[in-house]
């Protein structure tokens, strides 16, 4: 009889130990790397938002917008959305708990220029027959005359990257190893005296440009690097961007961005832009055209010839 009591007691102890050591499954937790300001998706693209979830066991999912459920899949497909910013919420439910995350998505018309495949053998294109390069409803002005090809002005497409050649033959190069976001193709802008080369929106609507990315062209960078005087503290290179109405009248701006600034007192604060930088243009409001003007501290110096170029990529329209 004692033998049976022993086995019964041992079974009770074993069962109790198993129960005490049983693992508790935590509540799920969502992980998703969201860029500052939210995801930027082109209106022409199909994009997938795929959160990562720990303890994703017997889960149910809900995507909602403005407190209304819009999907119950784990991966959300974002497409066919008009221009604007959308505030989504993703929630995961399991028998052990739940977690939720707010996700901001910007539906934009993005000009990254990657779809352009007609560069010449030297990796650029500045001879559009219509007088502009077109991407969606956006026109980038370019003035080219075969009788005087060196006198072209406005926008050219390019994939040239070079950091050593300041000669005119290298005028289509950005001072970087690629376009913005490691892309291949970007725009080079060449300024001509007393001429304007706007970016125009030819769909009949005014638009809000959220941002562009800019960098120095190689010719400009190397000329400033060798000719600007850091010690005097006077030299700068300025890009000014203004908004126009449908009649070409200025209505906003300028937004100013320094491509070089040697004016600060501390040497460490003096700089030449050598990487792609984002310029916020939302303050220009709803406009029909963008115009660009380059100026410098050496504009009146007849002994200093600064090539007036800059490079542009990733124009993003939010409204």
This prediction has a pTM of 0.86
Phi-psi region of 118 (alpha: psi -120 to 50; beta: other; left: phi over 0): alpha
pLDDT value, residue 101? 97
Residues 93, 97, 100, CA angle at the centre, nearest 5°? 55
pLDDT score at 22: 62
Check residue 14 and give its pLDDT: 47
**Ranges of CATH 2.60.40.10 domains, the chain:** 29-108
- The predicted structure's pLDDT at residue 117: 82
C-alpha–C-alpha distance, residues 263 and 235, integer Å: 6
In this prediction, residue 20 carries a pLDDT of 52
Kindly state which CATH superfamily the domain 124-317 is placed in: Protein of unknown function DUF4465 (2.60.120.1350)
Considering only CA atoms, which of 101, 92, 100, 103 is closest in space to residue 56? 92
- Which residue intervals of the chain bear CATH 2.60.120.1350? 124-317
pLDDT by position in tens, the chain (length 319): 444 444 444 454 444 444 555 678 999 999 999 999 999 999 999 999 999 999 999 999 999 999 999 999 999 999 989 999 999 999 999 999 999 999 999 999 999 999 888 899 999 999 998 999 999 999 999 999 988 888 999 999 999 999 999 999 999 999 999 999 999 999 999 999 889 999 999 999 999 999 999 999 999 999 999 999 988 889 999 999 999 999 999 999 999 999 999 999 998 999 999 999 999 999 999 999 999 999 999 998 988 999 999 999 999 999 9
Q: Which pLDDT belongs to residue 251?
A: 97
Quick one: 254 exposed, middle or buried, by C-beta within 10 A (0-12, 13-18, 19+)?
Answer: middle
Question: CATH assignment of 29-108?
Answer: 2.60.40.10
């Amino acid at each position: 009889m004692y033998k049976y009591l022993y086995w019964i007691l041992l079974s009770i102890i074993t069962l109790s130990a198993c129960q005490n050591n049983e693992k508790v499954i935590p509540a799920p937790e969502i992980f998703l790397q969201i860029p500052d300001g939210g995801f930027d998706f082109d209106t022409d693209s199909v994009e997938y938002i795929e959160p990562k979830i720990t303890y994703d066991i017997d889960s149910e999912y809900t995507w909602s917008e403005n407190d209304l459920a819009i999907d119950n899949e784990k991966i959300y497909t974002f497409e066919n959305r008009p221009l604007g910013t959308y505030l989504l919420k993703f929630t995961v439910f399991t028998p052990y708990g739940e977690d939720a995350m707010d996700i901001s998505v910007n539906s934009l018309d993005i000009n990254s220029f990657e779809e352009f495949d007609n560069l010449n053998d030297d990796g650029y294109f500045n001879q559009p027959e219509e007088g502009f390069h077109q991407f969606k409803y956006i026109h980038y002005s370019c003035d080219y005359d075969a009788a005087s090809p060196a006198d072209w002005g406005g926008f050219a497409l390019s994939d040239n990257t070079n950091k050593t050649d300041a000669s005119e033959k290298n005028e289509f190069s950005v001072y970087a190893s690629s376009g913005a976001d490691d892309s291949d193709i970007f725009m080079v802008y060449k300024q001509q005296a007393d001429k304007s080369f706007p970016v125009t929106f030819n769909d009949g609507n005014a638009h809000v440009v959220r941002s562009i990315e800019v960098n120095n062209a190689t010719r400009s960078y190397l000329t400033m690097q060798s000719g600007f005087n850091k010690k005097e503290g006077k030299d700068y290179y300025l890009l000014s961007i203004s908004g126009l109405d449908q009649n070409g009248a200025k209505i906003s701006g300028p937004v100013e961005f320094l491509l070089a600034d040697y004016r600060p007192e501390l040497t460490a604060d003096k700089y030449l832009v050598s990487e792609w930088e984002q310029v916020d243009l939302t303050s220009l409001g709803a406009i029909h055209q963008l115009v660009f003007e380059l100026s410098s501290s050496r504009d009146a110096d007849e002994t200093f010839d600064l090539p007036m170029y800059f490079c542009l990529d990733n124009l993003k329209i939010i409204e």
